[in-house]
């Protein structure tokens, strides 16, 4: 195999078990924690790591691959230092501002609390890489690039086609879309009103047609003693019908209503008898809920109503107050409507606390005064 056909020995950089980038001979990168705002460009390709504990420095170390395939690491004066992890778990600190040549083809380092692995691999198809093509990660990443990619990839489904399980699954993640259920309620109410009006119109027409029928018995030839008694009985029966319901009911419907009332009265009598028997046996009645319980407070309306939620671009004020996702906090910091709520969050970056306090807004300052996380930040900066 000639020198031109030999596979290029590359070095793979793995962060917490996930491969991030591969370097060919002659390439180098700078490794550090992802900052709140982009750092000044120093000409080095940066590999930024999400570190919630902030144990890694923003410019922690640089990794270089020589033309001969050897690799070296330089600690850039990090706060917590760079350590070589031995096979038995012991840590050896790398000197600052000096090149440390890797002794093996695969070595593990620890930057603060973050594990970083460097492993030498062979590229099986070097000819596939075009000449002059920049390696992966050669471009300085944008601060909000990951947030823009997530917003493009996340397509919110139509809530009207979701089942209850789908909605619960959708609400399990952050952020989620918010939809109003009042629209569905109003459509149901409109259909209900339409159905009621359609039932009332035929009943009123039947009532107008039935009025001449009531006058026919008065014109029919009957004996002298019978008309008065029949007229009185008809009036006695008609008065409660007119007082109870203002529309005409056929004879069959009246009989059905009477039978239904009889069945309901019988069922009520049976329930009262069963309750009396239970009382005699010593079974005391228990209310549906205990006095002073949560159910009683809810029924009386003692709990205060929830504050109105502010939503901007799919992000809510509740997300701003409670989210621990730094990427989501960065995105919300671009919207002035969410800044007062973001100032209530006790889990913000130190840089974000400093940026909010520099805004000079009364609402933001009032929220920061009550923020326990902001007070801890001030105490740490004054030490």
Computed over every residue of the chain, the mean pLDDT equals: 72
Tell me what pLDDT residue 63 has.
95
Mean pLDDT of 312-319: 84
Whether the per-residue pLDDT at 180 is higher than 70: the answer is no
Tell me what pLDDT residue 377 has.
83
Tokens, residue 191: 């259909």
Least confident of 26-30, 56-60, 152-156, 378-382: 152-156
Distance CA 77, CA 247 (A): 92
Tell me what pLDDT residue 65 has.
94
Tell me what pLDDT residue 2 has.
46
Whether the per-residue pLDDT at 369 is higher than 60: the answer is yes
CATH topology assigned to domain 3-141: Tumour Suppressor Smad4 (2.60.200)
Whether the per-residue pLDDT at 229 is higher than 80: the answer is no
Give the orientation angle of helix 350-357 with respect to helix 362-369, to 10 degrees: 130
Q: Which residue, 326, 54, 33, 352, is CA-closest to 174?
A: 326
Tell me what pLDDT residue 118 has.
95
Whether the per-residue pLDDT at 75 is higher than 80: the answer is yes
Tell me what pLDDT residue 383 has.
67
**In this predicted model, what pLDDT tens digit does every residue of 244-257 receive, in sequence order?**
444 544 445 556 66
Which ranges in 220-244 belong to alpha helices (H)? 225-244
Residues 6+ apart with CB under 8 A from 238: 214
> To the nearest whole percent, how much of the chain has pLDDT over 70?
55
Pairing relationship of beta strands 114-122 and 106-111 according to DSSP bridges: antiparallel
Element of type H or E holding 217? helix 182-219
Mean pLDDT of 263-272: 80
**In this predicted model, what pLDDT tens digit does every residue of 11-43 receive, in sequence order?**
999 999 999 999 999 999 999 999 888 888 888
**In the sheet that 106-111 helps form, which strands lie side by side, from edge to edge?**
18-23, 9-15, 114-122, 106-111, 82-85, 91-93
C-beta separation of 341 from 311 below 8 A? no
Least confident of 12-21, 70-79, 93-102, 174-183: 174-183
pTM for this model (two decimals): 0.34
Tokens, residue 77: 């004066």
Tell me what pLDDT residue 322 has.
85
Reported as a pLDDT band with limits 50, 70 and 90, residue 139 is: low
Whether the per-residue pLDDT at 372 is higher than 90: the answer is no
Highest mean predicted confidence (pLDDT) among 78-87, 122-131, 214-223: 78-87
The tally of CA atoms less than 13 A away on the side-chain side of residue 173 is 10
The domain locations on the chain are 3-141, 311-382
Mean pLDDT of 162-182: 55
């Amino acid at each position: 195999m000639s020198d031109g056909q030999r596979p290029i020995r590359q070095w793979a950089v793995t962060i917490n078990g996930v491969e991030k980038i591969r370097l060919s001979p002659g390439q180098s990168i700078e490794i550090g924690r992802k900052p709140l705002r982009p750092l000044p460009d120093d000409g080095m390709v940066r590999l930024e790591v999400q570190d919630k504990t902030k144990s890694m420095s923003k410019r922690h170390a640089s990794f270089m691959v020589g033309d001969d395939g050897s690799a070296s690491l330089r600690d850039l004066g990090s706060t917590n230092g760079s350590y070589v992890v031995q096979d038995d778990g012991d840590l050896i600190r790398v000197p600052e501002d000096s090149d440390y040549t890797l002794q093996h083809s695969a070595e593990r380092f620890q930057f603060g609390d973050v594990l970083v692995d460097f492993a030498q691999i062979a590229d099986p198809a070097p000819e596939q890489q075009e000449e002059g093509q920049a390696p992966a990660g050669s471009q300085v990443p944008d601060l909000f690039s990951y947030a823009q990619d997530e917003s493009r990839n996340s397509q919110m489904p139509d809530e009207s086609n979701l089942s209850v399980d789908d909605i619960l699954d959708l609400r399990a993640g952050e952020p989620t879309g918010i939809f109003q259920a009042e629209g569905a309620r109003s459509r149901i109410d409109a259909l209900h009103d339409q159905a009621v009006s359609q039932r009332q119109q035929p009943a009123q027409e039947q009532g107008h047609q039935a009025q001449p029928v009531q006058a026919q018995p008065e014109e029919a030839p009957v004996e002298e003693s019978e008309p008065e008694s029949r007229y009185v009985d008809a009036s006695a029966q008609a008065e409660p019908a007119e007082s109870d319901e203002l529309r005409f009911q056929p004879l069959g419907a009246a009989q059905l209503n009477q039978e239904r009332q009889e069945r309901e009265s019988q069922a009520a009598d049976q329930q009262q008898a069963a309750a009396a028997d239970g009382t005699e046996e010593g079974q005391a009645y228990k209310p549906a809920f205990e006095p002073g319980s949560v159910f009683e407070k809810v029924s009386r309306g003692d709990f205060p109503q929830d504050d109105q939620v502010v939503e901007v671009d799919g992000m809510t004020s509740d997300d701003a107050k409670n989210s621990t996702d730094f990427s989501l906090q960065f995105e919300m910091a671009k919207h002035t409507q969410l800044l007062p709520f973001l100032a209530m969050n006790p889990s913000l970056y130190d840089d974000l606390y400093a940026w909010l306090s520099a805004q000079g807004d009364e609402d933001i300052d009032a929220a920061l005064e009550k923020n326990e996380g902001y007070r801890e930040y001030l105490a740490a900066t004054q030490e």
